[in-house]
Structure 1
Amino acid sequence: MAAEDMTAKAHPAASQAPQRVHGFQDADEVLPQYHIEAQTSLVERPLRSLKFGEAFAVLDSYGDIGVLPGPEGLYFQDTRYLSRLHLTVEDQRPLLLSSVMQDDNGALSVDMTTPDIRIDAHDDSTIPREVIAIERTKFLFRGACYDRIGLRSYDTRRRDFRIGISFDADFRDLFEVRGTNRAHHGKRSVLVGSDHEVQFRYVGLDEVVRTTSLHFGPKPHHIEPGRAEFNVSLAPGERASIFIRVVCESHRAFTSAPAAEKVGEDAAAGLALAAGSTGDRPPKGMSEGVIFARAYRDARRDLRQLTAGITTIISSNDQFNEAACRATADLYMLASRTPEGIYPFAGIPWYSTVFGRDGIITALMALWIDPNFAKGVLRYLASTQAKAVDPAADAQPGKVLHETRRGEMAMLGEVPFRHYYGTIDGTPLFVMLASEYYAVTGDRDTIAKIWPALELALAWMNEYGDRDGDGFVEYARDTDKGLENQGWKDSHDSIFHADGQLAKGPIALCEVQGYVYAAKNGMAKLAAMLGHDAMAETLTHQARALREAFDKAFWNDAIGTYVLALDGEKRQCAVRSSNAGHALFTGIALPERAASVAAQLLSKDGFNGWGVRTIARGEARYNPMSYHNGSIWPHDNAIIALGLARYDLKPEASRIFQGMFDTALYQDQKRLPELFCGFMRRRQRGPVSYPVACSPQAWAAAAPFAFLAACLGLEIDHGRNRVRFRNPTLPAFLDGVSIFNLKLGHSRIDIRLERHHDDVTVNVLRRSGDAQVALLK
């Protein structure tokens, strides 16, 4: 995601090796706060991810879990409910033939076959390889993982063999999996519940009982805690199937209330996911095969309902079409239903939960594809807005949620993320999103319902956000457990001076002032729409004053761009960073500064050929392998591209789009990762991966749509009932793009854009309704 929150994102950086440069503080010699430990890289082997609601699975290419060390597991509510699941044939691993996610991410399909197997060492009886086909299908639905192992014989004689399934459940909190040590744990037990079921049980220190139930069908020939075995006999051409259903559940100790009832209790506070987060209980006697088939049908139906009516894209480039399809599938896989609407969870494996900042930026970038993301995010964050001062949660009235966690460590306060508000930018971004959502949809009812939350957010910016009354919004954590840095670059060392010294707070970030500027301009428009004319006038004046003050305080002639931040003494952190691109995105940058900002971003120090680095090469703490000090983030680049387009710097935006498309071509499934390393691009070599990057990641998945919108100059204006393409351009890899089912009010439009050298034409293919389409050169 980006947010490197404590939790969220807070430092998957096994990357940042301690260093001493320019007299850096001794604090650099210890592991960063909420560090994500890495003895192995996620790049070493391709992993497969599945998600539904609060459950997600990280699997190896075989569909197994825990065969090698790593983050693999079946997780539910921030706890690993299954830490091992290993399929063998006669105690040997099958030969892998293919492992692919279905196009819509609905299921993992794995094809395997038997290796050469010696059945009996005494009589040399064997099963030759490649005579038994093994087809495995796995998916998640409502708190359960479904696994079908299909077997088919292509041999000319009957074959008898054993299928073994070994399994375990360690119930480790996600923060433990990330590397945090715990001195004490609850009590874990396991029992064989029947001749086809094993149940693991963990009574946590938080008095929550978590259970993992494994159901097998048909009945295994042998079952014990941790292992089930099936004797299989296949005649030539014969088929057989083995089903495994893993159900994750939780409830309070000393009560019989099921997890669904506990969800209902939390729903009153707007903090729980919608019903359907725990496994359904099928009727007694129903076979596992029928259960599997029904769940598969219902899961696919749910996905179709979620994606019905969205805007789609088909281009002249088949590889871009694949990348766009994968991005769309990732967005909707990460989407979770809440009582307030759909919310994009941030990323797998580290951030599969609600993050305020990530959800808002994802919704902003995907707004023209599906405004339901924005509606769900706005309603959810309004319902969870802080109502009181709580130093432990870095909360003050009106502040927007940073993240929420439901694991044991969060419940016990061992990490502060149960409901954590330590984000300085989430609140202005929340108001920004509301304004942009209304501009595109004209949904007055939603704005009216969240208006009290918007007013509280505005009050927070003016009171708690501006700690010293200078007109800028600053952050400083309230306790030692809070995040040291609370912008999207929230690594412990991400905000620093030109000499490398870490900045001391309260810190005013460059991009945050831009968000506040855009929020006040947007709030002024919403206020005027609702008839609050005096409020609108005041906000417009405040935004204008902020823009002038920002330029005076943040511009630096020596580096030719806006500085990274101001420290607590209002000294400039005169560092060239990607943050300045966010000033273009929000419009706070003065027009006469735009070309210089763009030149710095696209210089050889800023742009490495794949994308814009978070910190420019040559700065004191530049490290292309770091999480935030020289790496490249697709969402960050998408925001920069939108900013460049705002100032009509389309060739520069197109250049970034080209680099990111080239990056996607080197990625597994053409999926843009959370981030990658900032090493310079070299011929005949792809970009360098980051060792513990999330993939998929919500705002990385939304980035391709933002790149395309930026280059096309796409503007959807509900008030004028107009779709406009302002001075559109297309990068060299796209000769044309067709947009289907673009929505504006009750109108639906299909549009074709084609590149002719440096010119782009726009043709309306179909239109229902009275919306107008305009091309502005």
Structure 2
Amino acid sequence: MDYRVLKDNELFLLTNKSGDIPLDHPYGLGLYKQDTRFLSEMSLTINREPLILLKSEAGGTYESSILLTNPHMEKDGEIELWRESIEIERFRYISDDVLYETIRAKSYYPTPIRFSLELSFEADFADMFIVRGFQHGEVGTKQETKVEDDRLIFGYDGSDQINRSTEVIWESTTGAKAEGSTITFPFELAHEEVKEVTVRVVPLVGEEKKDSLPASEAFQNLKETYEEWNENVTKVITDHTPLNRLIERGGQDLRALSTDVGFGPFFVAGLPWFGVPFGRDSMIAALQTLPFQPEIAKGTLRTLAHYQGTKKDEWRDEEPGKIMHEIRYGELANTNQVPFTPYYGTIDATPLFLILLTEYVRWSKDLDLFKELSPNVESAIEWIDQYGDRDGDGFIEYHQESSKGIANQGWKDSADSIVHRNGEYAKSPIALAEVQGYVYQARLGIAELYEASGSTEKAEKLNAQAADLKKKFNEAFWMDDVGFYAIALDEHKKQVGTITSNPGHALYAGLIDEDKEEQVLDSLVSSKMFSGYGIRTMAEGEAGYNPMSYHDGSVWPHDNSMILLGMGYVQGNKQANIVIEGLIEASRSFEYERLPELFCGYGREEGKPVPYPVACSPQAWAAGTPLTFIRTMLGLYPTYDSKEITLSPSFVNGLNEMSVQGLPLAGGRVSFTVIRKGDQYEIDVAENSTGLNVSIHSDSKIHV
């Protein structure tokens, strides 16, 4: 990772490894809030000269420490600063949408010495779409920078009639002086003497007012929120150290990516470019973490229900009942120059909403949330039947209406991602394989909840629709000649026959005919599909295959996680463990053993995993992927009417003991340890307030 990122709530900081935001950096470094860049420069110098980087730590998700030193400095033959005589530490964190940075200087020069540290700032208030080069448009006017005794104030009058400002505040007792947009801090240090200064950066939107806390108090508050998160999340401890580290890393990254816009906590998609509410991404991350932090699922459902489509609006690809793709808050969105207020161009978010609700109720037995969201459920079902199935053939298709929308509206949303075996791109309306699986799973799940709440007629209709879809899907998508499913049907209902990972998602839905499951499982871990580190998005040798591509041969951890849930569901334990072991091995090659958004699809014979150059990290559904390893290896798939919980464990090589502490289930919590002994598994239940018996399936043996 060539950048450093920090986030808390709506604010995130993106810098180079030295902690600077250089002007006009090609990667768009900056301090961002609500899709606006509130700092476009933040550079630290010593006597106006660049510092030398010694160490840059970004292992923590809420704090970072960067160690630097000075270059050798002479003037007119006189030494100003001997090389590496001053140690500079930059310690920063974000708390309550305020950036705090403490700069600590320590002298190793043998006699007293004077020098200055300078912090230079700029704020361009650029919209995220402009920073990324995706759009241009009418923008507002930057105000003249104000200099006061203890602060710089950058202001902006937006074309959306919203005023934005950035206040940079320092301690008035430091003797600092500001000239233009540069603050100079004088230092005089004896040998091994240490002094520090603290700067606060406060972004403000509209009439927003914020009294930032003293640095020590703000940091303590931030630490407490992480401690509270750690106390409430399910703990998993194994005797497999790499897996433990991966779970710990994922859990902390997910906390950093959690946000609340007024309807409960949920995960933004990822950093740096997707730090906003999403439909598909946020729901899949919530689904991954459901056994560990169910409140996220509840907050995600309520947030997306609030933004559910209410009308037909081609500009935003909105339709009644449809769940949004993403929402943006910047100047271009607010002035309707881009359709993201919110934008609804996604085919899978609506069935995923129903799946997440079903899974949440299955785990929690909280039928009240289903009743609360029943109008949203009805609207979502109507959207699937009326708008999702565009031609009435029983399949759900997408087609872009918005002139500035997204052409491919599944999770593989690149323009080149749906390609025939002859290399031609498929044309919409397109019916994706995994989306049919989501719809099937949603219908069965909601039918289960309707039955539980006494709505038998509605349940029967959904069950009948699901049965009809399963029959049609297996007839229309199955390719006998290759023993696999097509990724999609094109505008003429012809198979898009390229071998991809998409049909693997249908395993979790139960949409795949039982007599075809083994062929699908084996294909997914074949040498063409499995790189050694994960399942590729597209099989090696296909016309569209490219291991460096975004969606046509790369490896996405979240894609693998959805397939893993399906492998566990159909008891494809042998294949699941191959994938889990590959991803664990891959994580060891990335900085801080963090699974990124994606990585290139080169095989293990090429060496270590090859990073994708602009992958987001941390990314919510990549961070949530290790949590699906646990559920898959335990064989944990509760239903709403479960009277007991029966595990069917199958552990990867090198893992013989797994302890799960405080698993939320059926309104209570359960703690247990599963131990592999020889070719059998045993369970020791330490705590159980669920009212359900928890046991090992009698046939659970080691799967070779």
> Which of the five TM-score ranges fits, normalised by the shorter chain?
over 0.9
Q: Quick one: distance in 2 between partners of 1:94 and 1:733?
A: 45
Closer/same/farther in 2, CA of residues 622 and 419 from structure 1, 3 Å limit: same
The residue aligned with 1:725 is 647
Which secondary structure state, in structure 2, belongs to the residue aligned with residue 308 of structure 1?
helix
Quick one: distance in 2 between partners of 1:517 and 1:633?
24
Residues 1:167 and 2:90 aligned together: no
Corresponding residue for 1:78? 35
Change in 2 beyond 3 A, CA 1:246/1:346:
same
The residue that corresponds to 1:763 in the other structure is 684
**2:139–2:331 contact (8 Å) kept in structure 1:** no
1:769 and 1:535, CA in 2 relative to 1: closer, same or farther beyond 3 A? closer
In structure 1, C-alpha distance between the alignment counterparts of 2:89 and 2:693, rounded to whole Å: 51
* Cα distance, 1:48 vs structure 2: 1.6
Equivalent residue number for residue 151 of structure 1: 105
Q: Larger deviation: 199-208 or 348-357?
A: 199-208
Q: Secondary structure at the match of 1:161?
A: strand
Question: 1:92 and 2:49 equivalent?
Answer: yes
Change (3 A) 1:475 1:89: same
Cα shift at 1:757:
5.2
Kindly provide the amino acid, as one letter, of the partner of residue 762 in structure 1. I
The CA distance in 1 between the partners of 2:667 and 2:273, in whole Å, is 39
Q: Secondary structure at the match of 1:552?
A: helix
- Cα distance in 2 between the residues matched to 1:415 and 1:453: 26
Q: What is the CA-CA distance between 1:127 and the residue it aligns to?
A: 3.0
Counterpart pick for 2:323 among 396, 400, 405: 400
Partners of 1:658 and 1:733 within 8 A in 2: no
- The answer to whether 1:698 aligns with 2:626 is no
The 2-side partners of 1:731 and 1:167 are apart by: 51
1:58–1:65 Cα contact (<8 Å) kept: yes
Matches within 5 A, 1:408-487: 408-487=331-410
Q: In structure 1, what residue type is equivalent to 2:196? A: S
Distance 1:373 1:74 in 2: 26
1:183/1:476 CA distance change after superposition, 3 Å: closer
Secondary structure of the residue aligned to 1:714 is coil
Q: 1:167 to 1:138 in 2, by over 3 A?
A: same
1:286-685 alignment, distance < 5 Å: 291-682=214-605, 685=607
| 1:224 corresponding residue in structure 2 | 179
RMSD: 1.8
- Does 2:157 align with 1:203? yes
SS at match of 2:87: strand
Distance 1:379 1:319, change over 3 A: same
Structure 1 position 246 matched with structure 2 position 201: yes
Change (3 A) 1:149 1:721: farther
Measure how far apart 1:718 and its partner are: 5.7
Tell me how far apart the structure 2 counterparts of residues 400 and 330 of structure 1 sit (CA, whole Å): 26
Structure 1: state its 5+ residue gaps.
1-42, 252-257, 260-278, 283-289
Give 1:192's aligned residue: 146
Identity %: 38
Report if the CA contact (8 A) 1:487-1:509 is conserved.
yes
8 Å CA contact retained: 2:668, 2:690? yes
2:41 aligned partner, one-letter code: R
Per-residue CA distance 1:11-47 (angstroms, 9 max, x = gap) = xxxxxxxxxxxxxxxxxxxxxxxxxxxxxxxx5x2x2
* Deviation sequence 1:630-652 (CA, Å, 0-9, x none): 11100000111111111111010
Q: Note the C-alpha offset of 1:102.
A: 5.2
1:25 corresponding residue in structure 2: none
The one-letter amino acid of 1:301's match is E
Scaled by the length of structure 2, the TM-score of the pair is 0.96
Classify the secondary structure of the residue corresponding to 1:751: strand
Instruction: Check the 8 A contact 1:90/1:117 in 2, yes or no.
Output: no
Determine if contact 2:671/2:687 at 8 Å carries over to the other structure: yes
The 2-side partners of 1:524 and 1:69 are apart by: 50
Displacement of 1:709 after TM fit? 1.2
* 2:265 aligned counterpart, secondary structure: strand
2: CA distance, partners of 1:578 / 1:225? 55
Paired with 1:208 and 1:220, the residues of 2 have a C-alpha distance of: 35
1:280 maps to what in 2? 210
What is the aligned partner in structure 1 of residue 702 from structure 2?
Answer: none
How far off is 1:759 after superposition?
3.8
SS of 1:431's equivalent in the other structure is helix
Between the two structures, name the one with larger relative contact order (CA 8 Å, sep ≥ 6): 1
Deviation, 1:498, is 1.6
8 A contact 1:630–1:678 mirrored in 2: yes
Deviates more, 1:53-62 or 1:659-668: 53-62
Cα deviation, residue 230, structure 1: 1.0
Q: CA deviation at 1:69?
A: 3.6
**Alignment pair present for 1:53 and 2:9:** yes
Instruction: Name the CA shift for 1:497/1:473 in 2 (closer, same or farther; >3 Å).
Output: same
Counterpart in 1 of 2:671?
750
Following superposition, the deviation at residue 358 of structure 1 comes to 0.5
- 1:235 equivalent in alignment to 2:165: no
Structure 2 CA distance for partners of 1:407 and 1:766, relative to 1, 3 Å: same
Q: CA, structure 1 residues 523+196, in 2 after alignment: closer, same or farther (shift >3 Å)? A: same
